[in-house]
Amino acid sequence: MSKIVECIPNFSVSKEKDFSAFQALVDTANSVPGCTLFDVQSDGNHNRCVFTILGSPEAIGEAAFRLAKKASEVIDLNKHRGQHPRMGATDVIPFVPQSKEVTLEECVELSRQVAKRIWDELRIPSFLYEESATREERRNLAACRKGEFEGMPEKLLQKDWEPDFGERKIHPTAGIIAIGARMPLIAFNINLDTSDVKIAKEIAKAIRGSSGGFKYCKALGIYLEDRGIAQVSMNMVNYEGTPLYYVYEMIKALADRYGVRIIGSELVGMTPAKALVDCAEYYLKLENFNCHDQVIEYHLIDANNPDEKGDAKLSSMKLEEFAKVLASDAPAPGGGSASALAGALGAALVSMVSALTVGKPKYADSQVLVRSTIEKANALQLQLITAVDQDTEAFNKVSAAFAMSKETEEEKESRSSAIQNGLACCTESALRIMELSCDVLSLANNLTGHFNTSASSDLGVSALMLKSALLGAWLNVKINIGSLKDRSLAVSFEEKGLSLLDMAVPIADRLYQEIENSL
């Protein structure tokens, strides 16, 4: 198994508050070869988004830098308001080892390299925290962030708070970043049926480790303005040392003292399966339970991944298996995943045509172009393959939302909100497929007159595949925006899709026609 590092950067912006800035960050994360954007969580109340990215150490380091750069360009903390504490446009960049080939020490070194580069090239200072901390008091993220963006200029002048990288002054709009290495963390929130945030703050104080509560729990009490309720927002830094059900039961008991009950909980970002299985084992009072032996999905994973390459995904299936799944009566995978696959095939053909041109004396003047095209096409191909799974995952979120209970008015409201968020995610996924296909078409177009003509038909098929990917993804955009209640968002999605079509479809048609005429 290759080296895999997880990076979970947090940004002081949300899809709900500033969609263009949010989308710019998503696009940046998806543009780095060698890593994959697995998950994006956005919260309008917190005015914050959390990315989950996995890849090689080198690719993850590059992605972290590019995202910090983009965040500094699109986020101005002088104008930012939200419930979650923050000190930077990119607020925190943690690196987590996710394969046995990567050590925590390697992640610590990666965090130092990234922090240095961010200062050298962007002039954004940083604190090193958790395992990367140079001082014990900086190990705790909350201690680093105390004072937030507004109070940080004064804090940096204090004796013990000189940045680990950078001068004693914040970036005027991007602030300062906490960068470090740590073991897996779970962002776990519990919502209460009260608008009194003082209750949530008292409960948070009682359960967090710094106040004498659970050792591996960090907690805040906040108010969710759009729902009119209080929330206990937590980071669980060691889910085995302090399991989720420990804090859930304690919050339940403390809330009862105030005549308050828990109305729901949520996970922000991705979480280890064992943390949830441990909860199931506790609440079901399972005896002699063996997670790996008794959970059928683990057996399926083992059967499909004998070389420990991870979960069985659409993108890892054999062609015959994928075709069978696509042909089933399940609503997903469907046209979106098929469109992404068509785009990936188009990118592969562009790379093939370029590879067949490399080293040919007849095309000596084209060597720099075709070698560059191979690298770019391969990167886009990987992103489109990833989109095969991401499109289905986005649709599954909508299906799950439709299955939510709708007996009470509150449940109806939560269900409606989840459906709308799911539809927006599906639309974003389809637009992403369109964007990637446009990028590949641009590469194909640049090859005109510079490629091995014995592969003309292959480039023509590439144009067809990419046009199919574009139009197929566009149909998914159309069907989703028709159900969006936020009409301004729907119009924005539609305008972006039409712009991509207007730009790319003529290129695909012209390229195909030129090749057909030449044969």
CATH of the domain at 503: 1.20.120.680
CATH number at residue 121: 3.30.990.10
- Report how many helices (DSSP H) and strands (DSSP E) the chain contains, helices first: 16, 11
End-to-end Cα, the chain, rounded Å: 45
Give the CA dihedral 492, 51, 440, 375, nearest 10 degrees.
160
CATH number at residue 202: 3.30.70.670
Kindly tell me the burial class for residue 167, based on how many C-beta atoms sit within 10 Å of its own C-beta (0-12, 13-18, 19 or more). exposed
What's the pTM?
0.50
Task: Write down the pLDDT at residue 311.
Answer: 42
Task: Write down the pLDDT at residue 213.
Answer: 93
Peptide linkage before 94 cis (omega within 30 of 0) = no
Residues 167 and 209 in one domain: no
Residues 193 and 168 in one domain: no
Residue 212 lies in a domain: yes
Give CA–CA dist 330/344, Å, rounded. Answer: 23
Residue 471 lies in a domain: yes
Number of structural domains in the chain: 3
Residue 285 lies in a domain: no
For 158, phi and psi rounded to 5 degrees? Answer: -70, 155
Give CA–CA dist 314/209, Å, rounded. Answer: 41
Residues 345 and 485 in one domain: yes
Strand 229-236 to strand 217-224: parallel, antiparallel, or no bridges (unpaired)? antiparallel
Task: Write down the pLDDT at residue 305.
Answer: 52
* Last-in-domain residue among 271, 306, 323: 271
Residues 351 and 472 in one domain: yes
The string of DSSP letters for 366-416 reads GHHHHHHHHHHHHHHHHHHHHHHHHHHHHHHHHHHHHTS--SSHHHHHHHH
Task: Write down the pLDDT at residue 292.
Answer: 64
Residues 401 and 493 in one domain: yes
Task: Write down the pLDDT at residue 302.
Answer: 55
Residues recognised as catalytic: 84
Task: Write down the pLDDT at residue 400.
Answer: 84
* Last-in-domain residue among 181, 205, 238: 181
Residue 288 lies in a domain: no
Residues 363 and 390 in one domain: yes
Each residue of 17-31: pLDDT tens digit?
Answer: 999 999 999 999 988
Low-confidence ranges of the chain (pLDDT < 70): 1-2, 291-293, 297-312
Task: Write down the pLDDT at residue 164.
Answer: 96
What does the block give as tokens for 333?
């995978």
User: Which residues in 98-248 belong to E strands, given as ranges?
Assistant: 126-130, 177-181, 186-192, 217-224, 229-236
Return all residues near 253 (Cβ < 8 A) that are at least 6 apart: none
Residue 191 · residue 265 · CB < 8 Å: yes
Residue 179 · residue 92 · CB < 8 Å: yes
DSSP 8-state code for residue 87: S
Task: Write down the pLDDT at residue 310.
Answer: 40
Residue 310 lies in a domain: no
What does the block give as tokens for 61?
């380091």
Instruction: Quote the domain boundaries for residue 85.
Output: 5-181
* Last-in-domain residue among 181, 207, 228: 181
